[in-house]
Amino acid sequence: MKVPPVFEYVRVDSLNDLYKNVNQYSFPLIISGGTVAVLMLKNRVIRPDAVIDISGIEDLNVLNLDKEKDEVFMGSNIKLYRLKSLLPDDSASELVTKSASTVGDIAIRSVGSVGGNVCLGDPGNDLPVALTAIGAYAVIGSQESIRRVPVSDFYVKPFKNVLKKGEILLGVSYKRLYGYRTSYKKHFLNFLDHYVGIVAALAKVEGKSIKDLRMAAAGEAIGTPVKIDISGFSSVDDAVSIKKKLIDCLNSLPMHDDRFGTIKFKKRILSALMFQAIDEVLGP
């Protein structure tokens, strides 16, 4: 049996309590659902002096709709399985729901949280790809202030995000989008194992005219989520040129051979996912 190292366990039920405790220890680990954090502790990948359990903070278990700004705020503690019933009816929320509903299996989605999914920084995490595509923001809190960082800038490298000591992800906010088609694709070698490629796309099309087209990708082939720039195309008849541009984008991304496959294999997987996504969002 794997036994975690010795640490203090602190369960907090308010943000004030959390900030007080986080600042009191030299290497605190925040835990929400614990689906990954507990594994990391058991395998002694991390050796915190305290585990701060935030799952009881109800202020982080909320979904808010700001009607004036037409924005959605998803609190960090919301369990992934709840997003389908909680999120409002718009295209950005549809893409987030599609992404969340592919995380692991129902056991993982019942326990895993929005905050854990966004903060972990595993290249195979689902929500960050959809959130990058829709232009969402990470809402970060500390005892002193609250700041907003685009999810596309939230990751420094795999498993490393921009959170500083004393900071926590309060949640994620995004503008609602209307009248878009959405597509979410991913490829894995084994079920519940890491994903080679993940692609999220959405497009607003009127007649044959493309009003807006967005895409993001991640997975083991790429590492942290990246926005794929395919702006500037105005007609669905440009699909062939868009796909050529996607190939150029793929060729400019740093990749290497590893246990998930050769560079050639990764590019083949990602281009297939991207092309399928484009066909879905621009197709008839």
Ligand X SMILES: Cc1cc2nc3c(=O)[nH]c(=O)nc-3n(C[C@H](O)[C@H](O)[C@H](O)COP(=O)(O)OP(=O)(O)OC[C@H]3O[C@@H](n4cnc5c(N)ncnc54)[C@H](O)[C@@H]3O)c2cc1C
The verdict on 169 binding ligand X (CB under 6 A) reads yes
Spatial distance between the Cα atoms of 210 and 194, rounded to a whole number of angstroms: 34
CB 42 → ligand X: shortest distance, Å? 11
Which is nearer to ligand X, 139 or 203 (by Cβ)? 139
CB 154 → ligand X: shortest distance, Å? 11
Structure tokens at 127: 């929500």
Place of tokens 């007080």: 20
Give the H or E element holding residue 170: strand 168-175
The neighbour count for residue 282, using CB atoms within 10 Å, is 22
The verdict on 117 binding ligand X (CB under 6 A) reads yes
Handedness of CA 39, 43, 46, 50 (dihedral sign): positive
83, 91, 93, 126: which one binds ligand X (CB under 6 A): 126
Residues 6-45 that bind ligand X (CB under 6 A): 29-37
Which is nearer to ligand X, 77 or 242 (by Cβ)? 77
Which is nearer to ligand X, 92 or 111 (by Cβ)? 111
Q: Which long-range contacts (CB under 8 A, 24 or more apart) does 141-148 make?
A: 141/15, 141/167, 141/168, 141/169, 141/170, 142/19, 142/166, 142/167, 142/168, 143/19, 143/20, 143/23, 146/170, 148/173
The verdict on 218 binding ligand X (CB under 6 A) reads no
15, 62, 86, 108: which one binds ligand X (CB under 6 A): 108
192, 248, 254, 259: which one binds ligand X (CB under 6 A): 192
HSE-CB at 279 with a 13 A cutoff on CA atoms is 7
The verdict on 129 binding ligand X (CB under 6 A) reads no
Give the interface with ligand X as residue ranges (CB under 6 A): 29-37, 54, 76, 80, 103-104, 108, 111-113, 115-117, 119-120, 124-126, 163, 168-169, 192
